[in-house]
Amino acid sequence: MTTILAALAVTLLPGGAAVAAAVDASPATASTAAEQAPAPVPIEEWSLARITAMGREIYRHDTAAWLATDALLAVHSPESLPGLRGWIVVPAGDGLKVRFLREGPSGYKIGWDVVVTGDRAGPVVEPADGSLTPAETAQWQARQTAIANIGTLRCSASLNAVVVADPDSDNWLVWLLTATTDANIIPVGGHYRFRISADGLSVVRRDQLSVGCLNMPLTSPEHPDSPVGLTVTQLVSSGPVETHVFLSLQNRIPIYVMAGEKVFAVDGDCIRDISCDFH
């Protein structure tokens, strides 16, 4: 597997704001190792409205998962969670319910539930009946199908999975997201988007959302202050993708996406075309 390295620099946006800038290396500009990588493969293009909505949904689900995990581990040690295999996130009123699955002799069951509302996790509850509904079974299977069909680009030892119902079809949308344990690193590259069939068993489409791996440090010895924004190039689409929205929300920092002749400012769940500012 070839890892495409990112060249890091400091550049200036209009108005003189300093940003950390990363170049998602393409075969024409990268090192010898990167030149051996395949050419960019265009992904399915989404409207900016859909990109914004899905980025916000990834953020909601990811935040709920880590808040619920913290709540679970505050009550149970890892050693006391036999058979824990992962989780699914389902709607629960104004919030989200994180359902932790464990594997037993008769298959998967719900072992523990945590409802997350906003930025607050509720109590850990062990359901009396841990059976999954047919929809929950399909959702879990969609996660497993995506993991079994990930592409060759692997940018971290572990991945975070987010599974939501596709609002425009009866399929599932699954994201496999590059993970990091370093708070100073934003993993911009290596994320995948899947569309999985309604039963969770088949890959309808797989999109690799970047050409290569791209880990961007917020600070460095040369630049100890956090930047006011990050700048990246996007080679597989004509604009930002939903993971840019997710990462901007998660890290509370604007991400400036250069795609072809255009430049977009992704500031949380607000995307603006600022191409004219560069002419």
Query: Using one digit for the tens of pLDDT, what is the confidence trace for 166-204?
Result: 999 999 999 999 998 888 899 999 999 999 999 999 999
Distance, CA of 155 to CA of 210 (rounded, Å): 11
Residue 213, number of CB atoms within 10 A of its CB = 21
| Model confidence at 114: pLDDT above 60 | yes
Q: What are phi and psi of 233, to 5 degrees?
A: -95, 150
Across all residues in the chain, what is the average pLDDT?
A: 85
3-state percent helix, strand, coil for the chain, nearest multiple of 5: 25, 35, 40
- Percentage, residues of the chain above pLDDT 70: 84
> Rounded to two decimals, what is the model's pTM?
0.84
Distance, CA of 183 to CA of 169 (rounded, Å): 36
Record the tokens describing residue 231, joined without a space: 């700048």
| Model confidence at 13: pLDDT above 70 | no
Question: Among 13, 33, 31, which Cα is nearest to 21's?
Answer: 13
254: alpha, beta or left, given left = phi > 0 and alpha = psi -120 to 50?
beta
